[in-house]
Structure 1
Amino acid sequence: PHCMNIIREVSRGKTFERIETVFVTKDGREIYVEGSVNGRFIDGKFFSTRSIFRDITERKKMEERLRALGRRLRDIAMNLGDVIWEVDTNWNYVYVAGKARQMLGYAPKELIGRNFFDFLHPEEAIKVASVFDDFSSQKRPIVDFESRVVSRDGKELHVTINARPVLSKEGDLIGYRGIIRDITYQKTIEHRLKESEELFRTLVESSPVGIYIYDPFENRFIYANPAIRKELGLDEIDVKNVDVLQHVSPEFRENLKKRIRDRLEGKEVPGSCEVEVVLPDGQRRWIELYTSVVRYKGKPSMLATAIDLTERKRLEEELKEKEEKYRTIFDGSPEAIVVLDQNGIITEVNGRVEEWLGYKKEEVVGKNLLSLSVISEKGKEEVIRNFKERFQGKEIPPYDLHFIKKNGEILIGRVQGALVMDEENQVKMIIAMITDVTEQRRYEERLIESEERFRTISASAWDAIIILDDEGRICYWNKAAERIFGYKPEEILGKDLHKVLAPEKFRRGYEKGMNEFRRTGKGPVIGKTIEINALRRDGTEFPAELSLSSVKIRGRWHAVGIIRDITERKQMEKKLREKIEELERYKRLTVGRELRMIELKKRIRELEEELAMVRRKNE
């Protein structure tokens, strides 16, 4: 019917240029053609049609491939968790896609024409512009460049920038094309981990009690704090080469070894034991050991607190990750991208897959994902379940999956999948984007482990552990503090320590020292162990020993105080002084009596001699 309409119009004198239609060849193939059609007239009457056609089948195939490529590019751009962008030589945006609205608060079209550096943090914009100008002058790619951006609502975000130069056919730079990724969460985890580890080090390193971790199989120190190193005369550098048992007196070694074996086997063992140790200078001292089994780097290890019996301190430790544009995004993406058909057959992977997992493209393309050993059997079950639910139209949030590298190493990937539908709303392909979160998860595990170590040590400590903020308010209060001072946590947290626990006559000096501490984190007693007087809940005053150190948490100085009740020690000292004075008095009394007896005996002898002389004269 279409051809008949054309002939009808031509017979009326109409001419057609660049019309497209489909011909069927002799062998039954359909081909696309393009041509022109006009009429031949004789004596003003239509006689026939004249036409010229050329085969444009290959061109139509190319156009279809370009359209498919464009759709694929849009699908990937919309499902990536990053902002995809392209700028001209003046760093003005000419293309934006991806999660621009979610990250920056702007729709992609709002960013077109805006300058790339307008959205950087003011403190970094000039510096970054200078660095990027240097990159562009040398046509160098930008790789994992960290900076900060400011979103529409004023929120500051940490990001990484990856980009490649875009060149003309003549090799001239015409702009850059790249990806911006939000790494704010990772930076927050790193910062919290650093603070937690600093708090752990401050507490353990400043503790007056010896704390150490050792390998029970090698009998070697893994860690020893300054107190135990000083106690045993060990050097910080060589401490890991020291045999733990060499400092224990020979008669106690076998018993201590048995206790260690029993504890590792889970048998019931008393919480503490008394042993004699020999110091490098030959001095012998008795200490009380509190030991427990911990896991350090995946191996059973022993955590010990060494307390001198004259101090009776108990402390335990546990502070216990179009073709050129498409390829730039696909192959240059920091995520591993896997494209599968509706049957789970891998049709394409980007270069990150080989870099991350060690498999070459030809080793995985054309194979069913579930037939490869890159995912464990348990992981495959999770993938199948998620695929089924996704096919049923359910929204599947990103999830973690363990991957197995070609060399056997286990990695953790954050999987985000998306279905790509065709014109008939049928699944055309599945795109899986995998972000390596191995280090992030390790950071999180280390943070949890570090915080748990701190909580365990604090809860098990025999001495009070109190943390104050820069206003002098109590923000941490362990069980020993509750026992010593008589306040429950809900009664004391948030209170000014000096107004509650310090006798009134000392408060002015405390407040002056607190002002200096708030500004600098320093003070006359920071890093020292001193004796003070403190108040219990019932108003009684008692002597205490205070070890004070400082640590910065979230940009503000905090004080960590370890307080020991020394009432018994002071009473013993008083009794000892009284006994010494009594002995002195007794000594003076005894010596005086002896001198008088000697003088009396001398006088008696003199009288006897005089009497004898008288008798001799009388005779």
Structure 2
Amino acid sequence: MPNTDPLLESLFETSLTLVAYMDTQFNLIRVNQKYAEADDRSPEFFVGKNHFDLCPNKENQEIFQKVAESGEPYLTSAKPFAYAHNPERELTHWDWSVLPVKNEQGKVKGLLLSLINVTERVQSSGRTMQEARNLSTVMEMANDGILINVDGRHIYTNQCFADMLGYETSEVLATGIHDLVHPDDLEKVLKRYRRCLAGEDEIDQYEVSFRKKDGSRLTVGVSTTLVKWDDKTATMITARDVAEQRRISRELQENKDRFDLAVQGSTAGIWDWDITRNEVFYSDRIMELLGYKHKDTRNSLGLFEEWLHPDDKSRVLAAIRNHLEKHEPYDIEHQLKNSEGEYHWFWARGQAIWNESDKPLRMVGSITDITDHKLSEEQVQKNETRIASIINVSRDGIISIDRSNKIILFNRGAEEIFGYQREEALGQSLALLLPDSEKGKHYSRIEAFQQSGDTARTMGERQTVQGRRKNGELFPMEAGISILELAGETIFTAVIRDMSAWIHAENELIEHREHLEKLVGQRTEALAAANKELEAFSYSVSHDLRAPLRSIDGFSQVLLEDYVDRLDESGQ
């Protein structure tokens, strides 16, 4: 490198990153060996060539030009790059910086480009994000309440558990076991908890009285087991409202509606856009997530647009327009800039309200910071362990099949429901668990579900179907289903509940009601007969007494008229 200072020379000799030095017209003067190897060329190939002739990119060229003119460095993270001269190579991602090199007078004489390949990190983050979503889906699809405790502290609860006791999930996490369990049952729960920590299997369900937020008492069926959570031993409590088994379909639908509302409002930061006045309310939590203060911001959609990452702005605004104009769901991931100028990833959802003329009036939504969910490969393994633990202890059957209807997952709950061991079921067709009358319907339902575009359908959305146990017994069941594309494969997962006990209880209730109605009818007929007899008796008495009374009245009148002067005041 002619006329370069020793610092630059040392950088080219010792740097472990990709380094290139160019003039202010972007003509390459020198590249190090790692830079050349990344493009499968020798360092001499690049000397004298223009950087943007080799890697044309208008946006990057404007950035380089700005650095050359302003003398201010530029840094970016995880930016995608495709090899134009070698399209067969996969897309890569890079952290890179452009630093101005100045002469003694402070004038920029060249640019120093430094790059680090972070493709593996980005791909790992994508896989981790999917695993995190899978974990969240399994947790929230569970029909039982789930509470996980580490070292006496609640670290996770699903929405079902919070709804069961009338709390928000954040309120549950702020409580202790002494706050949730009724005093009458506290010693029993603590005893079970200690036995569980000692390694004794406590999956069998027992009844416990919890204390709801409003102070009322709720009896639930509880089981406890040990699971792994972030390399720590955790106690997972699974709770089911035993009274729910006696409720009819109307109550089940009401519970589903409440669950849906709770899920829609359970995210971290809330915003409320008054479209008619173009005013936006940003909650304190949003301000906290981004590091801003209300006094330093304004309540407008323009502020949100300023926060958006340039790469996301057009996509996000288009999603908002499509929601308002076409009623398409607003469910999207994007980046927002915080008060320090850093971009964080957020998961955003929203729902608008329209008037009778289909004009949008208001849109309310939420954002959740998912930056920390960009986990490492190690975190992927932890998530897999968590999912396996939860699936294995669920009392509902959880079954996954591939596109050819072969069973690839069969949990302990499914073993108890169908009577097959896991080893017997894996690799078999799902038809093994269905009566002949249901097999054709099953394939039609799977095809319709795929074509619907839905990713999940919970219990209550589908009619009760029949299953077949290993001993040939047929039984009614309900199933929630989800579809997942994982590593290029389509996987269907069903959460199955045996409805035999529910239907038996409901039939008993119907028979009891019919018996009561019959008794009431019999007593009504007897009462009507008694009333008729009483009416006949009253008529007879009235008729028999009427003639004597009339005679007495007549004689009294004659006596009064003829002997009035002989009768004293008392006789009259």
- TM-score of the two chains, using structure 2 as the length reference: 0.58
SS in 1 for 2:395: coil
Return the offset for 1:142.
3.4
Deviations 1:533-572 (A, max 9, x none): 1454889864322335676757999765422121231133
Distance 1:597 1:211, change over 3 A: same
Does residue 165 of structure 1 match 2:100?
Answer: yes
Counterpart of 1:89 in structure 2 is: 24
Counting only pairs closer than 5 Å after superposition, residues 292-307 of structure 1 correspond to structure 2 as 292-294=225-227, 296=229, 301-307=234-240
Change over 3 Å in CA distance of 1:297–1:548 after alignment to 2: same
Match of 1:564 in 2: 497
Aligned to 2:569: none
CA distance in 2, matches of 1:544, 1:237: 33
Whether the 8 Å contact between 1:119 and 1:149 is mirrored in structure 2 is: no
Moved more, 141-150 or 482-491: 482-491
Name the residue aligned to 1:138: 70
- Partners of 2:387 and 2:185 lie apart in 1 by 31
SS state at 1:305 partner: strand
Given the superposition, is the C-alpha separation of residues 557 and 586 from structure 1 closer, same or farther in structure 2, using an over 3 Å criterion?
same
Check whether the contact 1:544–1:566 (CA below 8 A) recurs between aligned residues: yes
Match for residue 201 of structure 1?
Answer: 136
Q: Do the aligned residues in 2 keep the contact of 1:278 with 1:285 (CA within 8 Å)?
A: yes
Structure 1 residues 22-421: aligned runs within 5 Å = 76=14, 80=16, 82-100=17-35, 102-117=37-52, 125-151=57-83, 152=86, 153-215=88-150, 217=152, 221-266=154-199, 271-294=204-227, 296=229, 301-310=234-243
Q: Relative to structure 1, is the Cα distance of residues 440 and 567 closer, same or farther in structure 2, using a 3 angstrom cutoff?
A: closer
Deviations 1:40-71 (A, max 9, x none): xxxxxxxxxxxxxxxxxxxxxxxxxx99x97x
Contact in 2 for aligned 1:206/1:549 (Cα 8 Å):
no
Q: Distance in 2 between matches of 1:102 and 1:500?
A: 62
How far the C-alpha of 1:259 sits from its partner, in A, is 2.6
- Displacement of 1:456 after TM fit? 1.6
Contact preservation (8 Å) 2:438, 2:466? yes
Q: Deviation digits for residues 572-607 of structure 1, max 9, x if unmatched?
A: 322332343244335434654676688789999999
User: What is the 5 A alignment of 1:415-564?
Assistant: 443-466=376-399, 477-479=409-411, 480-481=413-414, 484=417, 488-492=425-429, 504=440, 511-517=447-453, 521=454, 525=457, 529-536=461-468, 542-548=475-481, 561-564=494-497
Pair 1:87–1:482, CA change in 2 (3 A): farther
Counterpart Cα distance in 1 of 2:434 and 2:108: 67
Deviations 1:294-345 (A, max 9, x none): 4656765432111123568xxxxxxxxxxxxxxxxxxxxxxxxxxxxxxxxx
> Over residues 147-177 of structure 1, what are the superposed CA-to-partner deviations in whole Å (9 max), with x where a residue is unaligned?
2233544222111113432334444333222
Kindly indicate whether the alpha-carbon contact (under 8 Å) linking 1:203 and 1:560 is maintained by their aligned counterparts in 2. no
Deviations 1:263-297 (A, max 9, x none): 33446767543211233345433212222344656
Unmatched tracts of structure 2, length 5 or more: 246-371, 544-572
Whole-Å separation in 2 of the counterparts to 1:541 and 1:599 = 54
What is the Cα-based RMSD across aligned positions, in Å?
Answer: 4.7
| Counterpart AA for 2:509 | L
Residues 160, 474 of structure 1: alpha-carbon distance in 2 compared, 3 angstrom cutoff: farther
Quote how far apart the aligned CAs of 1:477 are: 2.8
Q: Pick closer, same or farther for the CA change 1:216–1:170 going to 2, 3 Å.
A: closer
Structure 2 Cα separation of the partners of residues 249 and 590 of structure 1: 44
Shift in CA distance, 205/138, structure 1 to aligned 2, threshold 3 Å:
same
Q: One-letter code of the match for 1:143? A: L
Note the C-alpha offset of 1:196.
0.8
- Offset of 1:199 from its aligned partner? 1.3
Q: Does the 8 Å CA contact 2:129/2:374 hold for their aligned counterparts?
A: no
On the 8 A contact 1:501/1:535 being kept in 2, the answer is: no
The Cα shift of 1:213 comes to: 1.8
Letter matched to residue 196 of structure 2? R
Contact between 1:458 and 1:465, CA under 8 Å: does it hold in 2? yes
SS in 2 for 1:99: helix
8 A contact 2:476–2:499 mirrored in 1:
yes
CA distance, structure 2, for counterparts of residue 109 and residue 569 of structure 1: 78
Q: Which amino acid aligns with 1:545?
A: E
Alpha-carbon deviation of 1:183?
A: 0.9
Distance in structure 1 (CA, Å) of the matches to 2:466 and 2:36: 57
Across the two proteins, how many residue pairs are aligned to each other? 404
Q: CA 1:556/1:112 → structure 2, altered by over 3 Å: closer, same or farther?
A: farther
Residues 141 and 239 of structure 1, relative CA distance in 2, 3 Å threshold: same
Are the aligned partners of 1:498 and 1:511 in contact in 2 as well (CA < 8 Å)? no
CA positional deviation for 1:447? 1.9
Question: Is the alpha carbon distance of 1:199 and 1:440 closer, same or farther for their aligned partners in structure 2, counting shifts above 3 Å?
Answer: closer
**AA matched with 1:257:** L
- Unaligned stretches of 5+ residues in structure 1: 1-65, 313-438, 611-619
In structure 1, what is the Cα distance between the partners aligned to 2:11 and 2:528? 115
Q: In the superposition, relative to structure 1, how do residues 132 and 527 fare at CA in structure 2: closer, same or farther (>3 Å)?
A: farther
Q: Which residue type is aligned with residue 497 of structure 2?
A: R
The residue that corresponds to 2:289 in the other structure is none
In the superposition, the TM-score normalised over structure 1's length comes to 0.54
Look up the SS of the partner of 2:169 in the other structure: coil
Residue identity matched to 2:178: L
Task: Provide the residue aligned with 2:276 in structure 1.
Answer: none
Give the 3 Å change call, closer, same or farther, for CA 98–75 of structure 1 in structure 2. same
Name the CA shift for 1:522/1:302 in 2 (closer, same or farther; >3 Å). closer
Alpha carbons 1:482, 1:489 under 8 Å: kept: no
2:452 counterpart letter in structure 1:
E
Structure with higher Rg: it is 1
